[in-house]
Structure 1
């Protein structure tokens, strides 16, 4: 099998087209939006997984046609991690949120939640020479990333005030995410250097939580 036409033929062309359209419509905001309809055909990505296994190029082509978390969830079981992350980095560089948002969510609840060594390695590979659009998306999903790894990234952009709202949110996520990782003392020093926070962020609550962790 070498293209999506054959893949669609195997599962039914109409079925495939409908699933692509719905996935593309629902992909923006994956993992963060509650205004998402249930897939009409939730089994299709799982049916397709066996046909793309072992062919990373085809798997990514399928994802681009049908961008959804389910088309990513099996890839880490068989694809070499560095090659997989390289492909995902290109998707995070896309201007289209439909292609990038499911990737951010998969990283947030997958590689970034792994043990410190593997999570740090994934973060370093994805942030190396990252363009602004990718780096912003990564910081937005950085809650579970080990603090020393993401603190290096904060340091790179700290001198640019336009990045400060995103740093505020990243610190908040490090504190509030179930698997969030934070060095409370270092985070308190960091936020003292930031410009005004986003209006929706409760700074007093964030400082209180960090002080409690530091104690």
Structure 2
């Protein structure tokens, strides 16, 4: 599916005079100048949503095709602009199915997870819906079945970047993920970014209860520090930066792994 959308996007760009060569992207109006994927994303993604030959679902699928083709975060920015803009919202079924599909793929999903993290999750008006659509609504099923691999990839990727999601929104999902050891490491990353991210959110007592039940290697980076600050009741790095520094300097007890 993603390969087909990428080829559709490639064809659409070619109709606009943008073609890919071994050296880079070129534009028919300036064939001697090479364009980066980021320049193509900036120059043409918005045009997808102005293409009157496509309905809203078709525009969104073409935009996801550009994301598959260019692998550039800016494409996700334009998708969000279109969803939140005067002509939005975009068709939600197509929007969130597109995110889930790319979170499940074997290929690198950094552009998608970064989009979730800094755009959808950091915005309190969209965090709840976005988190539910990419993970919360079906995490029980993923944990109950123990997979398959694509669903585990999606769950792990979302948990790892979920720090900015408000604690009341993600609390149940975190507790559910605890039941599947394969998700313990990304769940730890979610707890860690919940503490450190600028918009991170957690409840110290509940987060500590989760942390103490994670099956992690004793030498997991920052495990001791996070346990220390949560035990002391700190909610966020910004409220007392010295607390983390002190925890870093303090020797970890031999039993810190459990």
For structure 2, list consecutive stretches of 5 or more residues without a partner in the other structure.
1-7, 27-34, 51-58, 84-89, 140-150, 240-258
Q: Is the alpha carbon distance of 1:197 and 1:77 closer, same or farther for their aligned partners in structure 2, counting shifts above 3 Å?
A: same
Alignment partner of 1:67 is 2:71: yes
- Are residues 1:156 and 2:176 paired? yes
User: What residue number does 1:180 align with?
Assistant: 200
Secondary structure, aligned partner of 1:201: coil
The 1:197/1:63 distance shift into structure 2, 3 A limit, reads same
Shift of 1:197: 4.5
1:5 maps to 2:11: yes
Shift of 1:114: 0.6
Equivalent residues in 2 for 1:31-50, closer than 5 Å: 40=36, 42-50=38-46
Residues 164, 200 of structure 2: 8 Å contact kept:
yes
Runs of 4+ in 1 over 6 A off after TM superposition: none
1:102 aligned residue? 111
- The CA RMSD over aligned residues, in Å, is 2.7
2:122 corresponds in structure 1 to 113
Q: Is the 8 A contact 1:60 1:87 kept in 2?
A: yes
Residues 52-96 of structure 1 deviation map (CA, whole Å, 9 limit, x = unaligned): 115112111111111110111111122326232221111111111
| Greater RCO (Cα-Cα under 8 Å, separation 6 or more) | 1
**By percentage of residues, which structure has more strand?**
2
**Of residues 78, 82, 98 in structure 2, which corresponds to 1:87?**
98
CA contact (8 A) 2:121 2:131 kept: yes
Quote the Cα distance in structure 2 between the aligned partners of 1:53 and 1:16.
Answer: 28
Equivalent pair of 2:104/2:153 in contact (CA under 8 Å): yes
Contact 1:197 1:203 (8 Å CA) reproduced: no
- Structure 1: tracts of 5 or more residues without a match: 21-38
SS at match of 1:13: strand
**Whole-angstrom distance in 2 between the partners of 1:16 and 1:9:** 19
Q: Does the 8 Å CA contact 1:52/1:58 hold for their aligned counterparts?
A: yes
The answer on whether the counterparts of 2:38 and 2:72 sit within 8 Å (CA) in structure 1 is no
Aligned to 2:234: 213
User: In 1, distance between residues paired with 2:218 and 2:17?
Assistant: 47
Cα pair 2:67 2:76 within 8 Å, conserved: yes
Moved more, 187-196 or 57-66: 187-196
1:111 and 1:122 in contact (8 A); partners too: yes
Whether the aligned pair in 2 keeps the contact of 1:63 and 1:72 (CA below 8 Å) is: yes
TM-score by length of 2: 0.66
> 1:70–1:164: structure 2 CA closer, same or farther, 3 Å change rule?
same
Q: Which has the larger radius of gyration?
A: 2
Give the Cα separation in 1 of the matches to 2:25 and 2:163. 31
Match of 1:56 among 54, 60, 67: 60
